[in-house]
Amino acid sequence: MDHAAKSPLTARRAGALKGRARVPGDKSISHRALIFGALTVGETRISGLLEGEDVLNTAKAMRALGATVERVAEGQWRVHGVGVGGFRAPEGVLDFGNSGTGCRLVMGAVAGCPVTATFDGDASLRTRPMKRILDPLELIGAHALSVTDGGRLPLTLAGARDPIPIVYRTPVPSAQIKSAVLLAGLAAPGETTVVENEASRDHTERLLKHFGAEVRVEAEGAHGRKITLRGESELAPAPVVVPADPSSAAFPMVAALLAPGSDVILTDVMTNPLRTGLIVTLREMGADIEALDLRSDGGEEMADLRVRASALRGVEVPASRAPSMIDEYPVLAVAASFAQGPTVMRGLKELRVKESDRLAAVAAGLAANGVEVEIEGDDLIVNGKGRVPGGGAVTTHMDHRIAMAFLVMGLASEQPVRVDDAAIIATSFPGFSALICGLGAELS
């Protein structure tokens, strides 16, 4: 989709939010289900797939690399894979649009196959660092034939003819780096090991096991993990049920906490502990969030979350919690703006290299709406006063989560909040406006 055509949107204070809603499927699992399905011999059925632009670009890439990927009905997809190491050389450029996850995971999968592919993306993705992925993939035996500005897209990657199993310690906690190495390691003989000092989301490990791979996970230090994969074995097809995305649920959740009188149930939300840092933090702030009907399906836990409007207080969020809520800081900063007292969010360096420089974009958006905010090194400090004047115009910088976070702000601030582009929301949360308006919000 062409995001040159911007579509501004304004949120204004309405009444309480009420009702039940299911946000779309988890983005991380949706990308992985398509990629693992494509590396499997046989048919993988996926239900609840997120049909956002990011994931649709991964589906296109899997087709270009030789897999058969079909949409059967809404959220229902079928993938016929080519087997580990079985990708064919794509004819055109693989365009991942706005998606770092799609691009980096597919780089890993291509690195383990003897094919050459060119990776590209939109203006936002072209600014994001790829050297962090190329470094371990080159150790495995892949080569970057061309790369822009020392590590940006577009880049051309030649996969390894004889992939080498490696032991790799990730320089930053990143599920994308970990997953790229493990995907390349699938085709290597012997054991590929990734060591991370802070555990990042573990959907790749869970899905690898679900598809029959031999994976060992051990503790590493206080917060880390060591993941070992035995390569050169085929993956067996397995159905994947995609739960609702906690990173998307975060927006109606915070909206319901902030709009007085709200009482909302968000159904089927994944509650994998490596994704629930926002819920932990909001509860510490005084949020009334109740998990109902905890259950598990296809290797992931989920629950229905009942969220009631709550008075929030500022808290300190430790750096060690960042990996479990890395995508939730924009909306947490909005919640913190309505809290009483300062919220200090520590260790947010990685926010600078997301779809936008989120540290800068969040601070600018808060300031434009009359919130006291400071960046100190890698920490974000929001001085909550229990109320937000609003009335500001927010620049989204091609970042879906900046757009959604500030629309949530406008649902509770004194004056409306306008974002300059809501079209970008379709990358991760198609139907966002309809869902939130269905609960009683006003967007126009």
Give whichever of 18 and 346 is closer to ligand S3P, judged by the CB atom.
346
Residue 136 Cα distances to 28, 345, 433, angstroms: 21, 30, 40
Single-letter residue type at 137? L
Buried b (16+ CB within 10 A) or exposed e, 364-398: bbbebbbbebeeeebbbbbbbeeebebebebbbbb
- Binder among 350, 374, 378, 379 for ligand S3P (CB under 6 A): 350
Q: How many CA atoms lie within 13 A of 215 on its CB side?
A: 23
# residues contacting ligand S3P (CB under 6 A): 11
Q: How far is the CB of 101 from ligand S3P (least distance, A)?
A: 4
Residue nearest to ligand S3P as judged by C-beta position:
28
Which one of the spans 7-15, 62-70, 169-177, 375-383 is the region binding ligand S3P (CB under 6 A)?
A: 169-177
Query: Which of the ranges 5-13, 76-84, 119-127, 172-180 carries the binding residues for ligand S3P, by CB under 6 A?
Result: 172-180
- Residue 158 is a binding residue for ligand S3P (CB under 6 A): no
∠ at Cα 38 (36, 44), nearest 5°? 75
Q: Which of 326, 388, 403, 423 binds ligand S3P (CB under 6 A)?
A: 326
Q: How far is the CB of 303 from ligand S3P (least distance, A)?
A: 20
Q: Which is nearer to ligand S3P, 101 or 369 (CB)?
A: 101
Min dist. Cβ of residue 333 to ligand S3P (A): 16
Considering the complex, what minimum distance in angstroms separates the CB of residue 25 from ligand S3P?
13
Binding residues for ligand S3P restricted to 93-112, rule: CB under 6 A: 101
Q: Which is nearer to ligand S3P, 324 or 343 (CB)?
A: 324
Minimum CB separation from ligand S3P for residue 55, in Å? 11
User: Does 30 interact with ligand S3P (rule: CB under 6 A)?
Assistant: no
Of 174 and 281, CB closest to ligand S3P: 174
Q: Do 220 and 144 form a contact (C-beta atoms < 8 A)?
A: no
User: Could you say whether residue 268 binds ligand S3P (CB under 6 A)?
Assistant: no
Q: Which is nearer to ligand S3P, 179 or 310 (CB)?
A: 179
Q: Which is nearer to ligand S3P, 86 or 323 (CB)?
A: 323
Closest approach of ligand S3P to the CB of residue 355, in Å? 8
Contact between 396 and ligand S3P per CB under 6 A: no
327 near ligand S3P (CB under 6 A): yes
Between the CA of residue 102 and those of 22, 58, 175, what are the distances in Å? 23, 6, 12
Please tell me whether residue 174 binds ligand S3P under the rule CB under 6 A. yes
Active site residues: 327
Asked if 96 and 57 count as a contact pair (C-beta separation under 8 A), the reply is yes
Q: Which is nearer to ligand S3P, 178 or 418 (CB)?
A: 178
3-state secondary structure the chain: CCCCCCCCEEEECCCCCEEEECCCECHHHHHHHHHHHHCEEEEEEEECCCCCHHHHHHHHHHHHCCCEEEEEECCEEEEEEECCCCCCCCCCCEECCCCHHHHHHHHHHHHCCCCEEEEECCCCHHHCCCHHHHHHHHHHCCEEEEEECCCEEEEEEECCCCCCCCEEECCCCCHHHHHHHHHHHCCCCCEEEEEECCCCCCHHHHHHHHCCCCEEEEEECCCEEEEEEECCCCECCCCEECCECHHHHHHHHHHHHHCCCCEEEEEEEECCHHHCHHHHHHHHCCCEEEEEEEEEECCEEEEEEEEECCCCECCEECHHHHHHHCCCHHHHHHHHHHCEEEEEECCCHHHHHCCCCHHHHHHHHHHHCCCEEEEECCEEEEEEECCCCECCEECCCCCHHHHHHHHHHHCCCCECEEECCCHHHHHCCCCHHHHHHHCCCEEC
Closest CB 200 distance from ligand S3P, rounded Å: 6
Residue from 17, 28, 115, 231 binding ligand S3P (CB under 6 A) = 28
Residue 176 engages ligand S3P in binding (rule: CB under 6 A):
yes
| Nearer residue to ligand S3P within complex by CB, 213 or 439 | 213
Q: How far is the CB of 286 from ligand S3P (least distance, A)?
A: 27
Closest separation in Å from C-beta 350 to ligand S3P: 6
By CB under 6 A, the residues from 196 to 225 that bind ligand S3P are 200-201
Which C-beta is closer to ligand S3P: that of 413 or that of 428?
428
Taking CB under 6 A as the binding criterion, the range among 171-179, 263-271, 290-298, 404-412 that sits at the site for ligand S3P is 171-179
Site residues for ligand S3P, 352-371, by CB under 6 A, read: none
Residues of this chain that interact with ligand S3P (CB under 6 A) are 28, 101, 174-176, 179, 200-201, 326-327, 350
